[in-house]
Amino acid sequence: MSHPALSPEATATTIRAAVRSGAVRATAVAEAALARIQATHEKVNAFTTVTAERALQEAAAVDTAIAAGRDPGPLAGVPYSVKNLFDLAGTTTLAGSKVMSASAPATRDATAVARLKASGALCLGAVNMGEFAYDFVTENVFSGPTRNPRDLTRSAGGSSGGSAASVTAGLVPLSLGTDTNGSIRVPSSFCGIWGLKPTYGRLSRAGAFPFVASLDHIGPFARSVEDLALAYDLLQGADPLDPVCTSRAPEPATADLESLPTGLRIGLLDGYFATGGDTRVHAAAEAVAQALGAVRRIELPDAGLARSAAFLITASEGGQLHFERLRKQAADFEPIIRDRLLAGALQPAAWYLQAQRFRALWREKIHAIFRDVDVLIAPATPVPATVLGQEKMMLNGTEQLVRPNLGVFTQPLSFIGLPVVAAPTQNAVGSLPIGVQLIGAPWAEASLLRVARHLEKSGLCAAPAAVIA
């Protein structure tokens, strides 16, 4: 029997312990991951580039360090994937688009990748995403749809769909994604795994292809809270290459992970967040609230307007970002994305600035609510994983378009940069999982992760691997 660290269920914590103790060689971990990726690729379509040579070199460096008695790093031998908008030195950064396919390879790693590498982790490659991250389903026209490992007929969510699928299928225990309007939390919910969208400005975005500068975040995916916290801690730290990245000192989450903070005030979001989804989705959020003893119900006034404002900022900044590419390569974009970006590029400035001014006011209003509460709870998506190609869904008895509406519960929160952990509840709607958002005040990630760990220990939230035969 092979070592548990080589199995698809292995967590980063298991793997690093086995590698650091010398029980398993990092090279064997890399080889096992490469074999899993190859064996399942046709079914899942998570990876767009497998960096086998790089992973094996990084593994050899870890093995050499261990043999020489040096510290191989806190993530020694842990395989991970990155959404294909993260720069990997020597690889073309696709950002999910044919438009970028002829670009020169990146000359250096993104900051987040460099930090994982410095921790001894092994980069297995770049994974699929919705084009230019303007998406919630990862049904990419250029590289094909990524399939949900829990049900291969369904979407893995988006836009970080490849990240979530690669972790869910047990190809890797960790992945890096990005979240502008819900692109970490939607795939976490669809795939039923843990995802962290940190506070806006907490983690460096340098070397991650942008989408909406005002709203872009990066964050990790994992199958255990300990892994999520571990990755998050190693990604923290100031970075002059990202003008938005905070200079506050890192606030590690792993140290106190096992205990729930005392006197935590927890509330279930009501109103906007308690309606509009499948009733079983709202029941999942209520179950989490109950498990945490949350009795209060709290409303975020004008959440619908916050979502509208996020929509306007996204269209405008996204369209402006791609202006030159829309001029020169309009035919290479996916039609849906191109039309949205073109419309965004032409949108009146009055809409955009009104949205930004509303954001400043709304942030103050919501910060005031956090004076009386520490954690808020809401569903991550209005429905479980949609079927690939599905265009419409029933919400509250009315038929709605899938693609523009999957972010209904995530958008208002990223709009003002609040940190959120997406906590997976399994078998929430039939056999499908649903993610529940644990929402905190700015910079409260460590507390949220302790709440997440508590839910994991209680058994209510879990993210078992869905191993593809």
- Tell me which of 166, 183, 188, 447 is the catalytic residue: 183
**Is 143 labeled as catalytic in the residue annotation?**
no
Q: Show the site string, 396-425: x = touches other proteins by CB under 8 A, - = not.
A: --------------------xxx-------
Residue 377: closest CA among 409, 347, 351, 346: 409
List, in order, residues 6 or more apart from 60 with CB less than 8 Å away: 26, 27
* DSSP helix/strand/coil, 267: strand
- Tell me which of 159, 189, 316, 414 is the catalytic residue: 159
The verdict on 199 binding other proteins (CB under 8 A) reads yes
Binds other proteins by CB under 8 A, chosen from 244, 274, 373, 467: 244
The verdict on 249 binding other proteins (CB under 8 A) reads no
CB of 341 to other proteins, least distance (A): 9
Residues 117 and 127: their CA atoms lie apart, in Å, by: 17
Binds other proteins by CB under 8 A, chosen from 308, 329, 390, 400: 308
Q: Which stretch binds other proteins (CB under 8 A): 79-87, 230-238, 333-341, 461-469?
A: 333-341
- Residue 445 sits at φ, ψ, to 5 deg, of -55, -45
Q: Which stretch binds other proteins (CB under 8 A): 147-155, 164-172, 197-205, 288-296?
A: 197-205
Of 60 and 369, the one with the shorter C-beta distance to other proteins is 369
Binds other proteins by CB under 8 A, chosen from 355, 432, 448, 462: 355
Binds other proteins by CB under 8 A, chosen from 73, 158, 187, 344: 344
Binds other proteins by CB under 8 A, chosen from 7, 57, 329, 347: 347
- Residue 210 DSSP class: P
Q: Which stretch binds other proteins (CB under 8 A): 57-65, 149-157, 198-206, 229-237?
A: 198-206
List, in order, residues 6 or more apart from 265 with CB less than 8 Å away: 296, 372, 373, 374, 375
CA-based torsion, 21, 24, 28, 34: positive or negative = negative
Pairing of strands 217-222, 194-197: antiparallel
Of 360 and 368, the one with the shorter C-beta distance to other proteins is 360
The verdict on 232 binding other proteins (CB under 8 A) reads no
Q: How many CA atoms lie within 13 A of 462 on its CB side?
A: 10
* DSSP helix/strand/coil, 280: helix
Pairing of strands 139-140, 194-197: unpaired
**Is 159 labeled as catalytic in the residue annotation?**
yes
The verdict on 241 binding other proteins (CB under 8 A) reads no
Query: With CB under 8 A, what is the number of residues at the site for other proteins?
Result: 49
Residues 336 and 333: their CA atoms lie apart, in Å, by: 8
Residue position matching structure tokens 């389903």 = 137
The verdict on 353 binding other proteins (CB under 8 A) reads yes
Binds other proteins by CB under 8 A, chosen from 39, 346, 387, 394: 346
Helices (H) and strands (E) in the chain, counts: 14, 17
DSSP string, 6-42: GSTT--HHHHHHHHHTTSS-HHHHHHHHHHHHHHHHH
Residues 294 and 285: their CA atoms lie apart, in Å, by: 11
CB of 342 to other proteins, least distance (A): 5
CB of 413 to other proteins, least distance (A): 11
The verdict on 243 binding other proteins (CB under 8 A) reads yes
CA-based torsion, 262, 232, 183, 143: positive or negative = negative
Residue position matching structure tokens 């094996």 = 56
Residues 72 and 332: their CA atoms lie apart, in Å, by: 43
The verdict on 443 binding other proteins (CB under 8 A) reads yes
CB of 338 to other proteins, least distance (A): 7
**Is 183 labeled as catalytic in the residue annotation?**
yes
- Interface residues with other proteins (CB under 8 A)? 199-201, 213-214, 243-244, 246, 304-305, 308-309, 311-312, 315, 317, 323, 326-327, 330-331, 335-336, 338-340, 342-347, 350-351, 353-361, 363, 416-418, 442-443
- Which residues belong to the active site? 83, 159, 183
